[in-house]
A and B are shown apart, each in its own frame.
Chain A
Amino acid sequence: MSLQMLREKIFQTLLKISAILCGGIVIFIALFIALESIPFFRSTPIYRLITDQSWHPTEQLFNLAPMLWGSIYAVSLAILIAVPIGILVAIYIQFYAQSLIQSLVLQIVQILSGVPSVVFGLWGLVVLSPLIAQISGPGTSLLAGGIMLSIIVLPLIVIITNAQIEQFEEDYIKSALALGMSRQSIIIRVILPGISSGLYAGISLQIGRALGETMVVLMVCGNVVQAPLNPFEPVRALTANIALEMAYALGDHRSALFVSGLLLLLLVSAISMAQTKNRTIAYV
């Protein structure tokens, strides 16, 4: 075996080990969570997760549905706020800002994307929640959670949109210009439809990220287990539930928390699978 072949072999093995490690960890964690959930399914019929009166696991009541809604509402709110603003900021950076401002805004957005979520959470608790409390309710609420999550998601939406616009075929823009289209209609009618599939992919990744966000929602959402009637009411997200109760949970309570982890895992994988499918269609 020549030296080069040996090198090639070593390199290949290294690649294989990395791939197996990466895939193996995910599978191992998923298996572990599923295994830890089994005691719950043995002792409690699965429909009780949505038919029980409330979530009071120490009193054997296991209704997870309000927390599922809490997670979905908070993430939807965050996406509703962050996506339009994020796209507008990216368009501004690409087409309207002077180069100095352009690089400045991009810098700030990049810094923002690196701020640890617990720092945002502290700000949300000390500044945002009291502000919301002045309008209505206790302050720590679905609205606070939605806003904080949107701040976490926003920088990446800007960065993704920005990258998509940069990769966009210049020929289309040139043709549009040759047709005499205005800058505004080129952006709205040519570029935005052109980058939409890439945007969907980016946004669904951010949905997954927002769903998994724990510290911020734990700090600003109020954590009351209920289906909120309006955004000023507190909610508890699935992630916050696990973080709040895991340290003190025993027996069925503990496995019920693993069930909520399993639910989150399924939700996130469903989103990511839908996104992969979406992208394949886009490429075809």
Chain B
Amino acid sequence: MRIYSTLLISWTLISSLSACGPSSKPELPSSETTRITVTGSSTIAPLAAELAKKFETEHPEFRIDVQTGGSSRGISDVRSSIAHIGMVSRALYESESDLNHHLIARDGVTIIAHGKNPVKNLSRQQIIDIYTGKIRNWSMVGGDDKPVTVVHKAEGRSTLEVFLAYTKLKNTQIKADSIIGDNQQGLKLVANNPNAIAYVSIGAAEYDAAHGLSIKLIDLDGIEASTQNVRNGRFPITRDLNFVTKGNPSEATQRFLEFAVREYNQNIVEGLGFVAADAP
């Protein structure tokens, strides 16, 4: 009797724990319901959520779940059919050609420095030299005689991948003074450190700079860092924001995808600091 109750208790305990453990995944809806699960990049998530809200208002029979966890999660969730749509904030790799991608917007990655930093413009080579430790003082790029605090992103972040692709550097070559997680952490750090240099999503940087945060967007090779220049394709560090799907998506997923790339969603895209994908 005693052993039995102990067993019973531990069984209840373990089963309840595993229910809330890592094995709990967003449930795939059965064919009658019209729930669409979207997971992946935290950069795209606000955009996907806005699109989902509008889509749900127009089509009340649909429910769209947006969950973040990074582009890599978006890829793996779509592959394992945990999600219907993955959000991936970069172009797909060759190894990912088993998936279909749908470009919904573009995002620029911009170099930022403290608002009081006199440096306005950097060349690609100067950025490479700063991030590999060849340039250690702002005076070498026309600034004050102050050491450069190099702010870099943690492994796996898609802004990091975009930055590495632009500089053609390997992550092992970079000598950083500070490593951050998301864009907000980078913006706060730079605003509080007059010697810092970092790279973040241009939408987030433009928004915060316009709302009084003491940061400035550094021009690249004379090209002004602005969403305008991302749109017209002049700005060199950009990335694609993609929805990815596997095989033949369900009708519901198909309808949401068509909705997401439709032109009249441009104001949503631009409201978040991104650039509409099909602009010239």
Q: Which residues of B contact A133 (CB under 8 A)?
A: 149, 193, 195
User: B170 touches which one: A16, A59, A126 (CB < 8 A)?
Assistant: A59
Stretch of A178-186, A194-202, A215-223 with 4 or more beta carbons under 8 angstroms from chain B: A215-223
Q: CA–CA, A238 to B196, complex, Å?
A: 24
Q: CA–CA, A93 to B149, complex, Å?
A: 43
B156 at the binding interface (Cβ < 8 Å): yes
Question: Which A186-237 residues sit within 8 Å CB-CB of chain B?
Answer: 218-219, 222-225, 234, 236
Is A244 within 8 A of B154, CB to CB?
A: yes
Q: A139-B149, A245-B156, A247-B69 are in contact. Are A24 and B193 (CB under 8 A)?
A: no
Q: CA–CA, A20 to B147, complex, Å?
A: 56
Which size class do B's interface residues fall under?
A: 35 or more
Q: CA–CA, A25 to B180, complex, Å?
A: 32
Is B76 within 8 A of A250, CB to CB?
A: yes
B9 at the binding interface (Cβ < 8 Å): yes
Is A24 within 8 A of B13, CB to CB?
A: yes
Q: Which residues of B contact A24 (CB under 8 A)?
A: 10, 13-14, 17
Q: CA–CA, A53 to B188, complex, Å?
A: 31
Q: A56-B155, A245-B154, A247-B70 are in contact. Are A28 and B193 (CB under 8 A)?
A: no
Is B156 within 8 A of A249, CB to CB?
A: yes
| Minimum distance in angstroms from A262 CB to a CB of chain B | 15
1/0 per residue B160-184: CB within 8 Å of A?
Answer: 0000000000111000111111000
Q: Which residues of A contact B195 (CB under 8 A)?
A: 133, 138
Q: CA–CA, A225 to B174, complex, Å?
A: 12
Question: Which A126-166 residues sit within 8 Å CB-CB of chain B?
Answer: 126, 129-130, 133, 137-140
Question: Which A20-68 residues sit within 8 Å CB-CB of chain B?
Answer: 20-21, 24-25, 28, 32, 36, 53-54, 56-59, 61
Is A130 within 8 A of B192, CB to CB?
A: yes
Q: Which residues of A contact B154 (CB under 8 A)?
A: 223, 244-245, 248
A259 at the binding interface (Cβ < 8 Å): no
User: A17 touches which one: B9, B177, B193 (CB < 8 A)?
Assistant: B9
Q: Which residues of B contact A250 (CB under 8 A)?
A: 72-73, 76, 156
A125 at the binding interface (Cβ < 8 Å): yes
B22 at the binding interface (Cβ < 8 Å): yes
**Chain A contact surface mostly:** helix
Of chain A, the residue at the smallest CB distance from B153 is A244
Q: CA–CA, A244 to B17, complex, Å?
A: 25
| Minimum distance in angstroms from A224 CB to a CB of chain B | 5
B189 at the binding interface (Cβ < 8 Å): yes
Q: Which residues of A contact B95 (CB under 8 A)?
A: none
Is A248 within 8 A of B155, CB to CB?
A: yes
B21 at the binding interface (Cβ < 8 Å): yes
Q: Which residues of A contact B73 (CB under 8 A)?
A: 247-248, 250
Is B177 within 8 A of A138, CB to CB?
A: yes
A266 at the binding interface (Cβ < 8 Å): no
B54 at the binding interface (Cβ < 8 Å): no
Q: CA–CA, A36 to B23, complex, Å?
A: 12
Is B179 within 8 A of A236, CB to CB?
A: yes
A243 at the binding interface (Cβ < 8 Å): yes
Is B72 within 8 A of A126, CB to CB?
A: no
B267 at the binding interface (Cβ < 8 Å): no
22 CB-based A-B contacts, threshold 8 Å: A16-B9, A20-B10, A24-B10, A28-B13, A36-B22, A53-B172, A54-B172, A58-B155, A58-B156, A59-B172, A129-B193, A133-B149, A138-B195, A140-B189, A140-B193, A223-B154, A225-B179, A244-B179, A247-B42, A247-B70, A248-B70, A250-B156
The 5 closest A-B pairs by CB, nearest first: A248-B156, A223-B179, A138-B177, A248-B70, A138-B149
Given A24-B14, A137-B177, A223-B178, 17 more A-B residue pairs with CB atoms under 8 Å apart are A20-B6, A21-B13, A32-B22, A36-B22, A57-B155, A58-B155, A125-B192, A126-B188, A130-B193, A133-B195, A222-B178, A243-B181, A244-B154, A244-B179, A247-B73, A248-B156, A248-B157
**Chain B: residues with CB nearer than 8 A to chain A?**
5-6, 9-10, 13-14, 17, 21-22, 42, 68-73, 76, 147, 149, 154-157, 170-172, 176-181, 185, 188-189, 192-193, 195-196
